[in-house]
Amino acid sequence: MSQDQNKVRFSQLTVLLHWAIVLLFIGVYCSMEFRDIFERGTPGRDLMKTAHYWFGLSILLLLLPRVLARFSQHTPPITPPQPHWQHKLAIAVHLAFYALMLMMPLIGWLLMSAEGKELSYFGLQLPALMGPDEVWAERLEELHEIGSKLGYALILIHVGAALFHHYLLKDNTIKRMMFK
């Protein structure tokens, strides 16, 4: 990549991790939304739940490299420049996304532990983070559901802002996060 390309786009690693996590988010949400087409206790429903766990844990696994790749490089400027308030709002939304990507898989893992269920990640048995506890299981399930709704809101804000920048402001916001 040329020196000029580095100034107008994020690194290829950052772009790759961004879009990989986008696909994992789609998997996380689709696996939960579509699980209800299967009866409880059926292999199809179990597959949807397992896929949900794997997608969520994969997001957690990619989070550290994503954050390191994102913050170890210069952020390409948006041209034309955005107002200061938009920049601050974008930072807040991104930080909320990073918090969500960290907290939701951990809350899900804690929930599985509190329910006394085993959790494996592609054959690797993960340790329980706490002992079985019905009260905590209910609290964690509620927190996980609230987090999923927050995730939908963040996705709507993020995608809406990207489309607003691309189609109305006609700036380079989306181009910065595309493969060259």
Q: What is the pLDDT of residue 70?
A: 87
Q: What is the pLDDT of residue 153?
A: 98
Q: What is the pLDDT of residue 180?
A: 87
Tell me the C-alpha distance between 30 and 32, whole Å: 5
Residues 102/146, Cβ–Cβ less than 8 Å: no
Low-confidence ranges of the chain (pLDDT < 70): 1-6
pLDDT, tens digit, 9 for 90 and up, residues 32-73: 999 999 999 999 999 999 999 999 999 999 999 999 998 898
Give the C-alpha distances (Å, rounded to integers) separating 109 from 65, 84, 99, 122: 20, 38, 16, 15
Q: What is the pLDDT of residue 3?
A: 47
Residues 79/172, Cβ–Cβ less than 8 Å: yes
Nearest CA to 78 out of 91, 65, 68, 66 is that of 91
Q: What share of the chain is helix, strand, coil (3-state, %, to 5)?
A: 70, 5, 25
The domains of the chain, with CATH numbers, are: 3-177 (1.20.950)
Residues 178/19, Cβ–Cβ less than 8 Å: no
Q: What is the pLDDT of residue 4?
A: 53
